[in-house]
Amino acid sequence: MSGAGALLLKIDEHRVAAWTAALADALPDMPIRIWPDIEDPNEIRYALLWKPSATLFEGLESLEVIFSVGAGFDHLLACPTLPAGIPVVRMVEPELTAGMAEYVVFNVLRYHRRMDQYQHFQRQGVWQVLDQIPAHDTTVGIMGLGVMGVASARVLACMNYRLLGWSRTRKTIPGLQSFVGTEELGQFLAQTRILVILLPLSRDTRKLIDRDVLRQLPRGAFLINAGRGELVNQPDLIEALDSGQIAGAALDVFDDEPLPSEHRFWRHPTVALTPHIASLTNPPTAVEFVAENIERHRAGHPLRYVVDFERGY
Ligand code: NDP
Ligand code: OXD
């Protein structure tokens, strides 16, 4: 079936078996090549990639569609050989979305129910009861109301949190007050007790969360970043954590990953960090999304969730 093309998979080594098994189920007739074992480069029509090496795209003259293994595609844009003019499709699949909502809810609860403080008390052998604040008196502000932000907002709305959201375009989401653009960012921040960052990394959002933004939050606010490390100015965040302006930060993503062992975040008393696991793409459901898009491509229909390079996401 080489006439119909082959799919090149590049994924972390420990996940190759799960992905190849899922691809074999969803696309039984599609030859799968595991990078760097490309065989005939002219056969490669589709590529499903996570963090491609700098030269990965060299010689792939027949490539027609590039799929990102993750919702973010900044790892593809960072590749110097990424060809222009070939559609890039970001990952949208139900388990990736569900996992993010779980991560967000878990960390909102951490701060709303003061689990960070109880953990600190336990280490000190202190038995102390703090006031319990109702969810409807706790304001959660979500930056980025796309697939991840909306799914998280839906669950938080069911839990009665007071919800605000910030995005580029106005939203109508039950139980959420929508704020738009730089002109409404200040109003959004001033009311936010727990800030959830679920923006994509783009020229407009890189280092958006800086000292000035952090200062506009109420003193003692919390920050949850599952978008990308580079959305946040790290030295400014450390300064805000040290001063107590930000009372705690749950961080899943970083400028450099893995986070260097000497980085202050590792041992900062008010940082809870995880190694980019807010949510992981689930191969069986992800390959359904890929297979459906390949079918659409072959039938000449528009692909779903193509990155808009003009817009930056
Ligand atoms: P979407 O493209 O669906 O949503 C992006 C949202 O951000 C939209 O609401 C968009 O606004 C908003 N936005 C983008 N640029 C701006 C801007 N300049 N100003 C205001 N709002 C802006 O992305 P997803 O929800 O699928 O994913 C978001 C990000 O989450 C990914 O790019 C990835 O970096 C991260 N992620 C991290 C994971 C992890 O494990 N840590 C797992 C999965 C995702 P509008 O709606 O108006 O267009
Ligand atoms: C991501 C992902 O984009 O894991 O970070 O999907």
pLDDT digits (tens, 9 = 90+) for 202-258: 999 999 999 999 999 999 999 999 999 999 999 999 999 999 999 999 999 999 999
Region at 130 (left for phi over 0; alpha for psi -120 to 50; beta for the rest): beta
Looking from the CA of residue 149, the nearest atom of ligand 1 is 25
Q: Where are the alpha helices (DSSP H) in the chain?
A: 16-26, 74-77, 94-112, 115-124, 147-158, 181-191, 211-215, 234-243, 283-298
- Annotated catalytic, 45? no
The bound ligand whose nearest atom lies closest to the alpha carbon of 282 is 2
The bound ligand whose nearest atom lies closest to the alpha carbon of 142 is 1
Indicate whether residue 70 lines ligand 2 (CB < 6 A): yes
> 227: helix, coil or strand?
coil
Q: Tell me which residue of 158, 160, 161, 155 sits closest to 141, measured CA to CA.
A: 161
Say if residues 159 and 165 touch (Cβ distance below 8 Å): no
Indicate whether residue 68 lines ligand 2 (CB < 6 A): no
Residues of the chain with CATH 3.40.50.720: 6-93+281-298, 97-273
Indicate whether residue 276 lines ligand 1 (CB < 6 A): yes
Using most ligand atoms within 8 A of CB, pick from 96, 202, 205, 253 the residue to mutate for ligand 2: 96
Strands of the 194-197 sheet, one edge to the other? 176-180, 162-167, 139-143, 194-197, 221-225, 246-251, 271-273
**CA–CA gap between residue 175 and residue 290 (Å, rounded):** 33
> Among 215, 276, 298, 304, which one carries the catalytic annotation?
276
The tens-digit pLDDT sequence of the chain (313 residues) is 446 799 999 999 999 999 999 999 999 999 999 999 999 999 999 999 999 999 999 999 999 999 999 999 999 999 999 999 999 999 999 999 999 999 999 999 999 999 999 999 999 999 999 999 999 999 999 999 999 999 999 999 999 999 999 999 999 999 999 999 999 999 999 999 999 999 999 999 999 999 999 999 999 999 999 999 999 999 999 999 999 999 999 999 999 999 999 999 999 999 999 999 999 999 999 999 999 999 999 999 999 999 999 999 9
User: What φ, ψ does residue 133 adopt, rounded to 5°?
Assistant: -100, 130
Burial degree of 52 (CB within 10 A; 0-12, 13-18, 19+): buried
Give distance in angstroms: CA of 67 to centre of ligand 1: 17
Q: Tell me which residue of 269, 286, 22 sits closest to 124, measured CA to CA.
A: 269
Burial degree of 210 (CB within 10 A; 0-12, 13-18, 19+): middle
Q: Going by CA atoms, what residue is nearest to atom 3 of ligand 2?
A: 72
> 278: helix, coil or strand?
coil
CATH code given to domain 6-93+281-298: 3.40.50.720
Using most ligand atoms within 8 A of CB, pick from 198, 202, 305 the residue to mutate for ligand 1: 198
Give distance in angstroms: CA of 199 to centre of ligand 2: 12
Give me the pLDDT at residue 4, please.
78
- What contacts 285, CB < 8 A, 6 or more positions away? 93, 94, 95, 96
- What contacts 115, CB < 8 A, 6 or more positions away? 109
Give me the pLDDT at residue 3, please.
61
CATH code given to domain 97-273: 3.40.50.720
- Annotated catalytic, 123? no
The tokens for 259 are 């986070």
Give me the pLDDT at residue 1, please.
40
pTM strictly above 0.95: yes
